[in-house]
Amino acid sequence: MAIPYGPLAWLVWVLPLAGSLLVAAAGRFPKARDAMAVLPSLASAVASLFLLPVALKGLTIDYQLPWFAGINAGVLVDPLSVIMGVAVSWVSFLIMLYSVDYMKGEEGMTRYWYFMNFFIGSMLLIVFSDNLLQLFFGWEGVGLCSYALIGHYYKDGRDRWVGRQGDVVLGKPQDCSPSHAGMKAFITTRLADVFMLAGIFLIYSYSGTFNFLALAADTKWAAGLNSAGLLLPAMLLLLAGGAGKSAQFPFQEWLPDAMTGPAPVSALIHAAAMVKAGVFFVARIAPIFFILPFAAKYGFFGAVALMGGLTAFMGATQGMVNKELKKVLAYSTVSQIGYMMLAIGIAGFTPSFVEGYSASLFQLISHMLFKAGLFMGAGVLIHMTGSLSFDGMGGLRSAAGKTFAVFGILALSLAGVPPLSGFFSKDAIFAAATLASPSGLLYLVYALASVTAVMTAFYSLRMVGLSFFGEPREPAHRDAGARQFATYATLAVATVAIGLAAPLFEDFLDSAMRATVAPFGVSVGPASFTVQPVAVATSLVVMSLGLALSYPFYVSRSRNATLGGGFLKSLHGFFWNRWYINAASYRVFVDPVVWASAAGYRAVELGFFQRVNGATASASVKAASAGDWFDRKVVDRLVNGVGASASFFSKHVRRLQTGLLETYLFAIVLGLILLLALLMYTVGVL
C-alpha cells in the first residue's frame, strides 16, 4: 500500500498545533496536561519518519488543497523538507521531554506548554509549506511564540536577567530583563518581517503566484522585475526576513538577550526552530534565484555570503569574551548560523550549486544536534549552581560527571574536532568554497570563516574549562536525573554517529539535495564531490590552533587569563561591549522613538487634548450649573405651581362633596337651568 506522503506531511505540522489546544483544555489537570504536551511532539516525530522514503528516492510531491481567492494551501514534500522535518521534530521532542523535569514546579506551565507546541507546529509549517504566503503564517507563528517564551519569566525577577548589572555602554545599560528581551526579539524580527513581506508581494505582483515550484517553472516574473530594476531589491528584501529570524547582521543583537528564557526555550530557539527558520527560508528560495539568467542573482548570493561570513566572525569574537554560559552559546549560534548562510552564498558561485547547498544543510543538522544538547547541559549546570555566569561555576567535573562527559563531546563537536559531526560539516563548507569561482569576495569570506573557526575552537574549550575545571566545588543541587540526562546524551550519540558515518552521510545529503533542486530547474549533473586537501588542512589547522590557544588558560590553568593593558585589553573591551552595535542601536533607533513619543505626549496629550479636555470639562460644569439653576428656578417652580393650584382647586371643590341627595339634586337642577339659559342666549331667543 502506497504511503500518502502529502496528507502525512500535513499531519506532521498539524499535530503539535493541535497539541497546544489540548494543553490549554487540560490546564487544570497538571499530569494530564504534561502528558498531552509531550505526546503530540512525539507523534509528529514518528509521523515524519514515514516521509523518509521521499528523501531516499529523491521524490518531489506538491500536495495542495483549496484555500481562498484561487490560492491553494499545500505542502511541498521533497528531500529538503523531509530531512529538515525529521530533524526538527525529533530534536523538538527531546527538548519537550527534557522540559518535563527541568520545568517541574515552575509557574505558568500551561502557557509554557501551549507556546512550545505552537512553536514546533509553526516551524514545521514553515518547513513543509509549498508557497510564500502559507510559509509566512508559520513565520509569524514562530515570532509570536519566541516573544512569549523568551519573556516567560515576565515578572522580571533580578535572577532572571542576563548581562552584568552595572555595565553601561554609550550611556545604555547592557543587562536585560525577560520582558524587555522578549519585546526586543519581537520588534527586531517584526522589522525584518516587514521587509520580507514587501519582497513577497513584490514578486507576487509580477508573477501572480506564491508557489515555489511555479516561480521556478516560469521566470518571466523575474524578467519583468529585472527590467524595472526591482529584481535585486526584491531578493534582498526576502533575505532581510531570513536575516532577522536567524539573527544575522545587522539584526543579530536580539538573540544573546533572548537567553532570559528557560533553558529548553533556548534549546528550541537555537537548535530546532526560529533561527533555523531563516536559514531554511533562504535555502528554499536560493534554487529559484540560481536559475535566473540575470546578474542580480550574483548580488543576492554575494550578499548572503558576505553577511554570513561577517556575522560568523562577529559572533565568535563576542563568544570568546562573554562570561555567561548561555550567552556564549547564543553568540556561538549567531556565528554558526553565519556559516550556514555563507555556504548558501558560496553555492551561488559554484557551477552545480549543490556542494555549498548540501554543506549548509550538513552544518544545520550538525549544529542542531550539538547546540540543543549544549543548551540542555547548560540548563543542568545553571540549575545545579544557581548561576548564569562562569563566576558561579567551575570545578564541576566530579559533581556533574555525566553532564561533563556529554557536554565535552558536544563542545568538541562545536569546536570542529574529528571524528565528530562538527568537524565534517565545517570541512564541507571549506570544501565547497574551494570549488567556487575565485574572486575577492570568495577569498574574504574564506578568510573570515577560517579565523572564525579558530575562535570557535577557542571559546568552545574555554566554555568547558570555565564550567568544569578549576577548584572542585559542591553545588547546591545534583546532576541531571536519568530521563533528563538521556535527552542530551542521545544528541551526543547522534553527533558521534554522524561524524563516524560522515562520508556516507555527506553522500546521502549530496544526492538528496541534487534531487531537491532538480525540479527547480537547476542543472546539477553527476556527483563530483571529492575530498579537498586544502579544505581538510584548513579544518585541522584552525581547530588545532584554537584549542592550543585556549587549553593553557582555561583547562590546565598553567597560564593566567587576566589581560594586561594595551591593544589586547582594548580589543577585549570592544568585543565585550558587543562591537558597540547593541548600544548604538538603542541610540539610533530606540532613543529617537522614545524622545518623539515623549515630545508627542507633551505637545499632543498635554498641549492639546488635556487643554481641550480641561476646557470641555469646565464648560460642562458651567452648563451643568446653568441647567441646575433652570431646573430649580423654572422647572421646579412651574411644577410646584401646577401642583399647588391643583391642590387648591381640589380642596375647595371637595367641599361640594356633602353626601346629601337633596344637595346633589339641587345642583343638577341649577346646572340644567344655567345650561338652558346659555343655550337660549346663544341662539338668540333672549
Q: pLDDT for 476-503, tens place per residue? A: 889 999 999 999 999 999 999 999 999 9
Q: Which of 267, 349, 344, 350 is nearest to 312 (CA)?
A: 344
One-letter amino acid at 605 equals E
More confident residue, 602 or 289: 289
With 80 as the cut, is the pLDDT of residue 270 above it?
Answer: yes
* C-alpha distance from residue 54 to each of 12, 42, 512 (Å): 14, 20, 9
Per-residue confidence (pLDDT) for residue 613, from 0 to 100: 83
DSSP state of 274: T
Across the range 288-312, mean pLDDT stands at 96
Per-residue confidence (pLDDT) for residue 50, from 0 to 100: 97
Distance of alpha carbon 173 from alpha carbon 187, whole angstroms: 19
Per-residue confidence (pLDDT) for residue 516, from 0 to 100: 96
Per-residue confidence (pLDDT) for residue 656, from 0 to 100: 61
N- to C-terminal Cα separation, the chain: 122
Name the band, by pLDDT with cuts 50, 70 and 90, for residue 627. Answer: confident
Name the band, by pLDDT with cuts 50, 70 and 90, for residue 675. Answer: confident
With 60 as the cut, is the pLDDT of residue 78 above it?
Answer: yes
Name the band, by pLDDT with cuts 50, 70 and 90, for residue 528. Answer: low
Q: 3-class SS at 686?
A: coil
Across the range 137-149, mean pLDDT stands at 97
Whether residue 94 contacts residue 100, with contact meaning beta carbons closer than 8 Å, is answered with no
Single pTM value for the model: 0.89
Largest CA distance in the chain: 145
**Burial class of residue 536 (count of CB atoms within 10 Å of its CB; 0-12, 13-18, 19+):** middle
| H or E element, residue 24 | helix 5-25
Q: pLDDT for 459-482, tens place per residue? A: 999 999 999 999 998 888 899 999
Question: Could you tell me whether strands 172-173 and 168-169 are parallel, antiparallel, or unpaired per DSSP bridges?
Answer: antiparallel
Per-residue confidence (pLDDT) for residue 617, from 0 to 100: 81
Where are the alpha helices (H) located in 469-532, listed in sequence order? 482-500, 502-517
With 60 as the cut, is the pLDDT of residue 686 above it?
Answer: no
At residue 574, what are phi and psi to the nearest 5 degrees?
-65, -45
Q: What's the grid cell of residue 179?
A: 520582558
Per-residue confidence (pLDDT) for residue 650, from 0 to 100: 72
Q: Please, what is the average pLDDT of the chain? A: 92
Across the range 370-383, mean pLDDT stands at 96
With 80 as the cut, is the pLDDT of residue 564 above it?
Answer: no
Q: What's the grid cell of residue 591?
A: 532613543
Across the range 398-404, mean pLDDT stands at 95
**How many CB atoms neighbour CB 471 within 10 A?**
7
With 70 as the cut, is the pLDDT of residue 153 above it?
Answer: yes
Per-residue confidence (pLDDT) for residue 359, from 0 to 100: 96
With 90 as the cut, is the pLDDT of residue 192 above it?
Answer: yes
**How many CB atoms neighbour CB 387 within 10 A?**
17
Q: pLDDT for 15-70, tens place per residue? A: 999 999 999 999 889 989 999 999 999 999 999 999 999 999 999 999 999 998 88
Question: Could you tell me whether strands 168-169 and 61-68 are parallel, antiparallel, or unpaired per DSSP bridges?
Answer: unpaired
With 60 as the cut, is the pLDDT of residue 518 above it?
Answer: yes
For the four alpha carbons of 382, 385, 386 and 390, in that order, the dihedral sign comes to negative
| H or E element, residue 32 | helix 30-49
Angle between helices 30-49 and 5-25 (to 10 degrees): 170
